[in-house]
Amino acid sequence: MAEFTMELNDEQKEVRDWLHGFAADVIRPAAAEWDEREETPWPVIQEAAKVGIYSLDFYAQQYFDPTGLGIPMAMEELFWGDAGIALSIVGTGLAAVGVLANGTEEQIGTWIPQMYGDQNDVKVAAFCSSEPDAGSDVASLRTRAVYDEARDEWVINGTKTWATNGGIANVHVVVASVDPELGSKGHASFIVPPGTPGLAQGQKFKKHGIRASHTAEVILDNVRVPGSCLLGGKEKLDERLARAREKAAKGGERVKNAAMATFEASRPAVGAMAVGTARAAYEVALDYAKTREQFGRPIIDNQGVAFQLADMRTQIDAARLLVWRASWMAVNGKPFTAAEGSMSKLFASETAKKVTAQAIQILGGNGYTREYPVERMHRDSAIYTIFEGTSEIQRLVIARTLAGMPIR
């Protein structure tokens, strides 16, 4: 077990500096253009693939870092560059985590490489969980998967929404109900291979922020996938469903479902994304406050501005520490007895919204224009308190964990 430390080792520092350079030289100069275009920034993803950032090898190296800090460090630097473009680069990772959390070794080896493609032909993947009537309330999802035993196939029908890379992905990971009576305990995850008939993109959303990231509905109309596309396999699913039915009869003990397993693994990473956006806005505000003069002196000389910057920096550092703690705990098998993963995501996402708003205030009228990036950063920051569990859901998870109550 790696000891928890706040000091990056030499290799981690080298990776951090490399990522920061890519974010500064490639991502940030392209941010405004792709935000305005509201399109997937394929040329930037291609550049990330060429240098090795958008690749299975890089993601695996960071994911299996024994300190747990590889992924949050990478997320912070890329999202410091720009949230929309960074999400286009790392969005495939959520689908990959879904396979890593629930799949067999064979499924991991087969499907994750197809999610990324290669540097000459980049691909993306999508994780499809939310539905029009089932966002935070995952137990209410209506997408059904029915097993056709004669053909050893699963037949999937339903509509997914808010899917990053939905419809344009090479591989889709779809969460569906196999036993509606069990609610969220009756869910399973499925791979939908490229070119599968019946899967289509629905509405593409025009969003407030992260506009360079593709978000859309995914329509599943009698989609048939081989039995081997059930993540974890049918034997494991049947055993889990049997335990769930038995526990439900005894009072409904908490059982981890496929979607929740993915979200629990990814929440500290989302917190790190928020830290990156907050840090970027803080740095713009700090530089502006040092150089902008009013009444014959830099505005940072005014206590009202200086105290805001002090609070911003303190909140960012506190958020990073919560993210790092949760990430270290997760990789070292430490249970989240106080919902530390949700804590990190809650605090970091709320910090990003607050810090980006303060940055606009410090820049005044300039901050409200698109001539300065803090306006975009503020729009981008709103998503962190919404996706992969709203702030209200995080508070519910934390409160129920502290009370020893089941998380529904």
Cα distance between residue 276 and residue 43, in whole Å? 22
Contact 81, 22 (CB under 8 A): yes
Q: Which residues on neighbouring strands pair with residue 127, listed in sequence order?
A: 173
- Tokens linked to 123: 């691909």
Cα distance between residue 93 and residue 127, in whole Å? 9
The yes-or-no answer on residue 388 being catalytic is: yes
Cα distance between residue 135 and residue 386, in whole Å? 10
3-state helix, strand, coil in the chain (%, to 5): 60, 15, 25
Instruction: Please state, in angstroms and as integers, the Cα–Cα distance from residue 152 to each residue in 109, 147, 296, following that order.
Output: 21, 7, 77
In three-state secondary structure terms, 4 is: coil
In three-state secondary structure terms, 76 is: helix
- Considering Cα of 388, then 79, then 332, then 93, what sign does the dihedral take? positive
Name the catalytic one among 47, 76, 350, 388. 388
Question: Which residues 6+ apart lie within 8 Å of 31 measured at CB?
Answer: 81, 82, 84, 85, 212, 373, 376
Cβ neighbours, 10 Å, residue 303: 9
Cα distance between residue 23 and residue 78, in whole Å? 6
- Length of the chain measured in residues: 408
Cα distance between residue 150 and residue 123, in whole Å? 33
Please report, to the nearest 10 degrees, the dihedral formed by the alpha carbons of residues 140, 257, 116, 88 taken in order: 50
The string of DSSP letters for 265-306 reads HHHHHHHHHHHHHHHHHHHHHHHHHHH-EETTEEGGGSHHHH
Supply the residues annotated as catalytic.
388
